[in-house]
Amino acid sequence: VIKKNDNIVLHVDVNSAFLSWSAVEKLRCGEEVDIRNVPSVIGGDESRRHGVVLAKSVPAKKFGIVTGESLYSARQKCPNLLVVTPDFSVYRRCSHEMMCILREYTPDIEQFSIDECFLGFPQSIKEKAEELGYSIKDRIKKELGFTVNVGVSCNKLLAKMASELKKPDMLHSLFPEEIKDKMWPLPIEELFMVGKRTAERLRNLNINTIGDLALYDVDILQDKFKSYGRMIWKYANGVDESKVEAVESEMKVISNSVTIPTDVRSKEEAYSVLMSLSENIGRRLRKDKKCCRSISVSIRNSDFVNYSHQKKLINPTDSDKTIFETAKGLFDNAWKHEPIRLLGVAASQLGEQSYYQVSLFGNENIEKKKSLDSALDKIRNKYGEDSVKKSIQMNQRKEYLIEEYDDNQ
């Protein structure tokens, strides 16, 4: 039974976002070549082991280069590949400029990621929906210099699937009556929320296309894939009851992780990294006026195996020191004494700072920690913090400062 949805939803998706945005920025700065027209990718610094493809140009795609693969392998496919360093401040700016334009069309707008968003409209505009989509697409191209794909349908899932159909600089509709022709022939992994692992398991059931999934027995899917089975079956049938959420939902987790340029082998080195990660988390918590009630530490070893430990806190906190001390303890319990490639710290079970402050009692050191953290926030805001190296120097300095406030929490 397909539920009828009374809304029109547009999905706007920037084509090769990072690459397009870097291209626009380079042209703006007077560079001659448009990197969109040559085999190019956006990729990180391989010497810091950030060597993955974050976005690719259309010519690069013709060499079989895919997002997420290593630059090493991308270069083997295309020896003359141009690799461009990402510039996230440019991306944030371009994203913001696009969102400002989109907001002119409706207040019912949900940003889904840095380069995607959903726009909700009343059913009454249905006849003009495509025209509206085209004008949005062309206006972004004209005013901002990059192209987007637009999907038009009656719910978010179908609008998103529509915008993925053929790229770049295209608009597609995907209303329920078009599902059979436009969506069902696609391979199963092109369905939103069906990744590599699920695609493999579905293929073992002889489910190869989205249509195969749509027509499969939902009870068997539910048995094998639990709630996820029913969800992807609904998606394959174009059913999605979720609303365009114009109000930003509260962040549930704040995390920070880093691939270390060379494997960490000692506890002390690991502690230094955990300290700067903890400070980053603490600062962001305080900026959002939030406290966390749970901390987790993740480790990726040199064989790329990940594991993590987490711990619920007795008292919610936004203190660098408490986060760090907890992370240190978690690390000591988790670490298998093998070379470490990546370390991460995450704070979850977030809640309002003010709520926790009134509900807290018996911890007089909170105010002391607060003043220390806010003093350091000011220093960091003034001088910036970025590189792990620089942070480690600051950490050592902070180590001294912190001794005076140690309360053995």
In the range 361-380, which residues lie near DNA by CB under 7 A?
none
Q: Give me the helix-helix angle, 365-383 and 388-403, nearest 10°.
A: 150
Residue whose token pair is 């976002």: 17
Catalytic residue (choose from 25, 110, 116, 279) = 116
Cβ of residue 266: shortest distance to DNA, in angstroms? 20
Q: How many of the chain's residues bind DNA (CB under 7 A)? A: 58
Backbone torsions φ then ψ of 228, nearest 5 degrees: -60, -35
* Among residues 8, 74, 114, 132, the one that binds DNA under rule CB under 7 A: 114
b/e burial code for range 103-138 (CB count within 10 A of at least 16 → b): eebbebbbbeebbbbbbbbeeeeeeebeebbeebbe
Cβ of residue 379: shortest distance to DNA, in angstroms? 20
Active-site residue, 279 included = no
Nearer to DNA, 206 or 249 (CB): 249
* Among residues 106, 111, 208, 294, the one that binds DNA under rule CB under 7 A: 294
* Residue 166 near DNA by CB under 7 A: no
Is residue 132 within 8 A of residue 125, CB to CB? The reply is yes
* Residue 339 near DNA by CB under 7 A: no
b/e burial code for range 23-35 (CB count within 10 A of at least 16 → b): bbbbeeeeeeeeb
In the range 121-160, which residues lie near DNA by CB under 7 A?
160
Alpha carbon 74 to its chain's center: 23
* Residue 52 near DNA by CB under 7 A: yes
* Among residues 3, 252, 336, 337, the one that binds DNA under rule CB under 7 A: 252
Nearer to DNA, 75 or 182 (CB): 75
Nearer to DNA, 88 or 405 (CB): 88
* Residue 322 near DNA by CB under 7 A: no
Determine the Cα–Cα distance for residues 394 and 382; give it in Å rounded to an integer: 14
Determine the Cα–Cα distance for residues 291 and 312; give it in Å rounded to an integer: 13
* Residue 251 near DNA by CB under 7 A: yes
Which helix (H) or strand (E) segment holds residue 253: the answer is: strand 253-264
* Among residues 34, 46, 269, 385, the one that binds DNA under rule CB under 7 A: 46
Determine the Cα–Cα distance for residues 151 and 130; give it in Å rounded to an integer: 9
* Residue 228 near DNA by CB under 7 A: yes
Determine the Cα–Cα distance for residues 345 and 341; give it in Å rounded to an integer: 14
* Residue 3 near DNA by CB under 7 A: no
Determine the Cα–Cα distance for residues 299 and 297; give it in Å rounded to an integer: 7
List, by residue number, the catalytic residues.
Answer: 116
Binding site for DNA (CB under 7 A): 17, 44, 46-47, 49-52, 54, 67-68, 70-73, 112-116, 160, 192-199, 226-228, 251-259, 284, 294, 296, 303-304, 306-312, 333-334, 342, 344, 346
